[in-house]
Structure formats: C-alpha cells, structure tokens
Amino acid sequence: MDFIDLKTQQTKIKETLNTNLQKVLSHCQYILGPEVKELENRLASYVGVKHAIGCASGTDALLMALMAYNVGPGDAIFTSPFTFIATAEVISLLGATPVFVDIDPRTFNIDPAKLEQAILALKDNNPSFYPLPMVNVERRTSNIKLAPRCVIPVDLFGLPADYDAILAIASKHDLFVIEDAAQSFGAEYKGKKTCSFGNIACTSFFPAKPFGCYGDGGMCFTNDDNLAAALDSIHVHGKGIHKYDNVRIGINGRLDTLQAAILLAKFEIFPEEIELRQHAAQRYTDLLTNTNFEHRTLNIEHSSLVTPYIPAGYKSIWAQYSILAKDEKHRLDLMKRLQENKIPTAIYYPTPLHLQTAFSVLGYKKGDLPVSEDCSERIFSLPMHPYLTEKDQIYITEIINK
Ligand SMILES: *Cc1c(COP(=O)(O)O)cnc(C)c1O
C-alpha cells in the first residue's frame, strides 16, 4: 500500500501527459515556454485572482512574497510553529525574525486570538504577555527593536486557516498577509478558493502535495498589479525592462516549462480528484468514529483518539488525513501495528519549529507553545490520496480500532 499513490493518477492522464510533453520537446522552450503562461492564466482564473506567477518551488514562492515587501532585519513575521520548516526558513533567510503563534487544537492552524496577543506583546516588548523570540543583538550593529510587519497563516493538511479573523487582526495592526497554501490548493473557505487570501498567496507543486508536478514547482497569486510586477521581476534575477537590465536583487526562481506541461495535464482531472479526496476522508471518519474516536473539542482531549475537525464553511483538500493518539506511547503502538500490516504512516510534524535546532537562536523553550508541542507528540497521518479504495480503508481502520 502507498502513502500517496501517484501511479494510478499517471495512468489516467497518460495520453494528455505524452501529448503535452511532446509539444515541449518539439518547441524546445524549456525556460518560460508558452505552457508556463497558460498554466498561470488557468490557475489564476480557477482561484479567482488577477495574477499568478509560476516559480521554482513553494519555498521560493514564500521567499519571493517576502522579498516583494522588502522584508529584512528588524521585521517581525508572525507564523505557526506547527508547519513545514520552509514557512519560517524564508523569514530567517532574509534576516527577519519569526514570531511563533500557537495553534487552535481543533484545526492545527494558527489561533487568531493568540495572534493578537503576540502582536500586542511584541508592540509592548512584553514577553510575559506572550512568548517572544530573542533578538540576536550580538550579530547586529545596533539593537534593533522588532517591528510587526506580516502574518503567514498556513493552511495545514489542506484545511484553510481562519481568514476572516486573521485578516481583521492584520488590518487593525497594519500587517500584510501571505497565505501559505502549499498544502491547500483546491480547498475552500466560506465559498472562496484558497490561494486567494491575503496580499500574496503561495502554493507548492511538490509531487506529494494535492496538486503536484514531477519535480519542484510553485506559484504566487495576487490581485495587486505592483506586487505582481515585483514578483515577476524577482523570479528572474530582479529583471527590469529586459533580463540584462537588473533593477533589484532577485533569484533564479522560474517554473520549468516541462513541469507546467505536466500540471496542465493533471489539471484536467483535478476537479474529479477533489471529490474523490472528500469521499476518502469521509470514509475514514465514518469508519473511525463508529468506535473509540471522538470529534475534536476545544480542550486538548487526552482520553481518546481524535479524528480531523472541519468547521462549517470550510472545505479541506485533505493533503493529509491526520489523527491524534492519546499520547506519544499510544501513537508509537498504533504506528507499529500499522507498519506490521504493511500500512505506511507519517508524522507531520514531530518537532514544532520553535524547538528546532535551526531556530535555537530565537531562545524559545519547551512549554512556550503548549498546543503545538502536545500535537507534535500525538499526531500521525494515514495513507491519503484520491485513489484510496474502501477496501483498503476498512483494512486500515480495523487495525486501528482493534
Ligand atoms: C511543502 C511546503 C512548503 C514548501 O514547498 P516546496 O515546494 O517543497 O518548496 C511550504 N510550506 C508548507 C506548509 C509546505 O507544506
């Protein structure tokens, strides 16, 4: 059994895939060929946003978004500690400082109430109100006080963050918002598609994401003409009127034509795959809630296993189907039992970012962000993809329910 099955999908798109790839091989425009523009146009209109800029990865998409706002030393960027390293890595790469805000235990996404506490604590320079990072003064020429600039909400496991609440707080405190939609392309929040929230939204086409290519790729989305122009320049070495006129420091961040051609083939069956993912997730939940599972409550529930919670008005794309065990030992037992029956599982994420060695310079300690820490000890993910069969899901859930 596969954790994510990409083979079945490939057999379904084989013909279009071959035609699309052959077209690229005949026109030979491997860099910024017509397929890139075509994909940008199609995805921008799908998401309902004016501009889309293809890029080399989801990480580059996030980096470019921060670069478009000239983020740098002294800037505080608020984000979730319960995410993939890339979300916060790009902040540090630009010399800015990540400020980690704990998650809602039901959705695993950034908690808007805590976001506001963290912003107020930072403005007041008062870590007793909310845990704040240490600024590494030694490495600076002067002691720069951090200025709140931006929030990066993450749509974890394909479930959108609470954008109404987050955007209201961001606007009140004059922060811009970058949506990390790396895991959520195709999901919806109150009737709107993800990749349409905030000032710039970023997604990833890494093969294992819900909409993945056969290598690395990503995309930025925005309604703002000036930001779109900046992103377009940044992803080609800060180009101006032409590629050898360089008006800013940029990166080599283009999406390959071949990857765009692959995504165009996959896009044809994507709507169907979204529905298949909904069915597979619902089947898991039905098969698990019959027994000892409980739907999530606000309290961090330790008495039973917990299935995913999808608030009213949200549609997840189910990048992962993640459940919480009672505790770390229970998780280990369950994962071992599944492994003995040849069922692959994974832990996203075993260490919240504020406790990662790479961020030790920020001075966070265990206990600072207790919900993320608790989830990282109990969470694990089951095989999830559009072509998961009911038979396999019965087999998997019977082992868990035993
Ligand atoms: C995968 C991922 C990224 C990075 O995307 P890449 O294409 O792998 O660079 C960023 N943020 C989150 C939440 C992700 O899951």
H or E element, residue 179: strand 176-180
Residue at 177: amino acid letter: V
Q: Quote the tokens at residue 115.
A: 């976001």
pLDDT at 402: 82
Per-residue pLDDT in tens (0 to 9) along the chain, 402 residues? 999 999 999 999 999 999 999 999 999 999 999 999 999 999 999 999 999 999 999 999 999 999 999 999 999 999 999 999 999 999 999 999 999 999 999 999 999 999 999 999 999 999 999 999 987 544 544 456 899 999 999 999 999 999 999 999 999 999 999 999 999 999 999 999 999 999 999 999 999 999 999 999 999 999 999 999 999 999 999 999 998 999 999 999 999 999 999 999 999 999 999 999 999 999 999 999 754 444 444 445 556 789 999 999 999 999 999 999 999 999 999 999 999 999 999 999 999 999 999 999 999 999 999 999 999 999 999 999 999 999 999 999 999 988
User: Is the pTM higher than 0.85?
Assistant: yes
> Helix crossing, 86-93 with 58-68: angle to 10°?
40
The number of the ligand 1 atom at minimal distance from the alpha carbon of 60 is 9
Ligand 1 centroid to residue 138 C-alpha, Å:
31
The number of the ligand 1 atom at minimal distance from the alpha carbon of 204 is 7
Ligand 1 pocket test target in 206, 213, 259, 384 with most atoms within 8 Å of CB? 206
Ligand 1 pocket test target in 77, 85, 87 with most atoms within 8 Å of CB? 87
Ligand 1 centroid to residue 151 C-alpha, Å:
17
What strands, in cross-sheet order, belong to the sheet with 188-189? 192-193, 188-189, 314-315
Protein residue closest via CA to atom 2 of ligand 1: 182
Ligand 1 pocket test target in 59, 85, 184 with most atoms within 8 Å of CB? 59
Ligand 1 centroid to residue 224 C-alpha, Å:
23
Q: 203 with 216: CB under 8 angstroms?
A: no
Q: Quote the tokens at residue 313.
A: 């008005």
Tell me which DSSP letter residue 50 carries. Answer: S
**Residue appearing with tokens 């379904």:** 12
Q: What is the CATH code for 7-267?
A: 3.40.640.10
Q: 213 with 68: CB under 8 angstroms?
A: no
pLDDT at 34: 98
The number of the ligand 1 atom at minimal distance from the alpha carbon of 57 is 7
Protein residue closest via CA to atom 1 of ligand 1: 182
Using CA atoms, how far apart are residues 74 and 146, in angstroms rounded to an integer? 5
Q: Quote the tokens at residue 164.
A: 């109404």
74 to each of 51, 67, 154, 397, how far by Cα in Å?
Answer: 29, 14, 22, 49
CB-based pocket (< 6 A), ligand 1: 57-59, 83-84, 86-87, 154, 180, 182-183, 204, 206, 216, 218
CA-nearest of 353, 4, 49 to 206 is 4
Peptide bond before residue 349 is cis, with ω within 30 degrees of 0? yes
Ligand 1 centroid to residue 335 C-alpha, Å:
25
Ligand 1 centroid to residue 61 C-alpha, Å:
9
What sign does the dihedral 38-40-45-51 (CA atoms) show?
Answer: negative
Ligand 1 centroid to residue 84 C-alpha, Å:
6
Ligand 1 centroid to residue 27 C-alpha, Å:
31
The number of the ligand 1 atom at minimal distance from the alpha carbon of 217 is 7
The arrangement of secondary structure in 270-401, i.e. its CATH architecture, is Alpha-Beta Complex (3.90)
Q: How far apart are the first and last CA of the chain?
A: 20
Domain with CATH 3.90.1150.10 in the chain: 270-401
Nearest 5 degrees, angle CA 33-CA 267-CA 79?
90
Ligand 1 centroid to residue 19 C-alpha, Å:
29
Question: Cα dihedral angle (234, 235, 236, 241), rounded to 10 degrees?
Answer: -50
Q: 241 with 255: CB under 8 angstroms?
A: no
Ligand 1 centroid to residue 102 C-alpha, Å:
19
Q: Quote the tokens at residue 123.
A: 């403005």
pLDDT at 290: 53
Tell me which DSSP letter residue 97 carries. Answer: E
pLDDT at 303: 60
H or E element, residue 221: strand 218-222
Ligand 1 centroid to residue 182 C-alpha, Å:
5
Residue at 46: amino acid letter: Y
pLDDT at 289: 74
Nearest 5 degrees, angle CA 270-CA 5-CA 220?
45
Query: Could you write out the DSSP letters of every residue in 293-343?
Result: EE---SS---SSEE-----TTEE---S-EEEE-SSHHHHHHHHHHHHHTT-
pLDDT at 292: 44
Domain with CATH 3.40.640.10 in the chain: 7-267
pLDDT at 44: 98
H or E element, residue 89: helix 86-93
pLDDT at 343: 97
Protein residue closest via CA to atom 6 of ligand 1: 58
Ligand 1 centroid to residue 156 C-alpha, Å:
10
Protein residue closest via CA to atom 14 of ligand 1: 182
**Residue appearing with tokens 């860099």:** 31
* DSSP strand pairing (293-294 vs 305-306): parallel
